[in-house]
Every structure is written in structure tokens, then in C-alpha cells.
């Protein structure tokens, strides 16, 4: 259940952050208006709250591992929303980033090893 919760929260965080940044990009670069910018700021704020719901108490670990999800999510957003055509190097880099994220967030740590021993 914990891996599922972590995964869902990372996906929701990616949608909020990438979507918020995209909305601001649209407001500034594509002259879509201030409503896009305001919605973007709101989505970016939601991202911060979603990230704080992660079960790991270490801010640095959560944000570092989220970085890999952000990389893959940004490429996916570009493909789906903007028609971006990734290169093989985009795919390889994204896969490496996701493996790194999984290692960071799922590897045993002293804190979670001790709690497993106690139970």
C-alpha cells in the first residue's frame, strides 16, 4: 500500500507542478491572459501540499526522488499536450531518472529498518 500511495502522490504532484508551470508558460509565452497565470500559481501551490503528504518525513529525499518523476512527467506532458517528439536519449534519460528516484525513495533506510525490526 505504501508504494501505491507514494506512486499516486508523485503522479498527482507531477500533474499539479507541470500543469501549473505549463499554465504560467501559456500566460507569459503565448499571451493567454492572467487567468492562466493565476490558475498556474494555484496549481503550483497545490503541488507543495501534495508533496507534503508523502509518507517519508525527509523533505530532501522526497524532493530528490520526485525529480525523476518530474523528468518523466515533463516529457509525457510534452508528448500528450504539446506534440513533443522525444529522442531515444530523452527516453533513456527519463528511464535513468526514474530508476534513480525509485532507489532514493524505496531503498531501506536506518529509520524504516528500525521500525520493521520493532514490529
* Other CB atoms within 10 A of residue 59 CB: 11
What is the pLDDT, as a whole number, of residue 109? Answer: 74
What is the pLDDT, as a whole number, of residue 112? Answer: 58
Q: What Å distances lie between residue 5 and 44, 54, 56, CA to CA? A: 20, 8, 11
What is the pLDDT, as a whole number, of residue 1? Answer: 66
What is the pLDDT, as a whole number, of residue 107? Answer: 87
* Other CB atoms within 10 A of residue 71 CB: 20
User: Please, what are the averages of pLDDT over each run of 10 residues along the chain (119 residues)?
Assistant: 90 97 97 97 97 92 93 96 96 97 87 53
What is the pLDDT, as a whole number, of residue 113? Answer: 54
What is the pLDDT, as a whole number, of residue 25? Answer: 97
What is the pLDDT, as a whole number, of residue 111? Answer: 62
Cβ partners under 8 Å of residue 53, min gap 6: 9
Instruction: Please name which of 29, 14, 31, 6 lies closest in space to residue 80, comparing C-alpha atoms.
Output: 14
- 3-state secondary structure at position 50: helix
What is the pLDDT, as a whole number, of residue 53? Answer: 96
Amino acid at each position: 500500500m505504501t508504494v501505491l500511495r507514494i506512486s499516486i502522490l508523485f503522479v498527482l504532484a507531477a500533474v499539479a507542478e507541470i500543469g501549473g508551470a505549463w499554465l504560467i508558460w501559456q500566460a507569459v509565452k503565448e499571451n493567454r491572459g492572467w487567468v492562466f497565470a493565476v490558475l498556474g500559481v494555484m496549481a503550483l501551490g497545490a503541488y507543495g501540499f501534495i508533496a507534503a503528504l508523502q509518507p517519508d518525513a525527509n523533505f530532501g529525499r522526497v524532493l530528490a526522488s520526485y525529480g525523476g518523476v518530474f523528468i518523466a512527467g515533463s516529457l509525457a506532458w510534452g508528448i500528450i499536450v504539446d506534440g513533443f517528439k522525444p529522442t531515444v536519449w530523452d527516453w533513456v534519460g527519463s528511464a535513468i531518472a526514474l530508476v534513480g528516484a525509485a532507489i532514493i525513495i524505496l531503498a531501506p533506510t536506518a529509520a524504516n529498518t528500525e521500525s520493521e525490526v520493532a514490529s
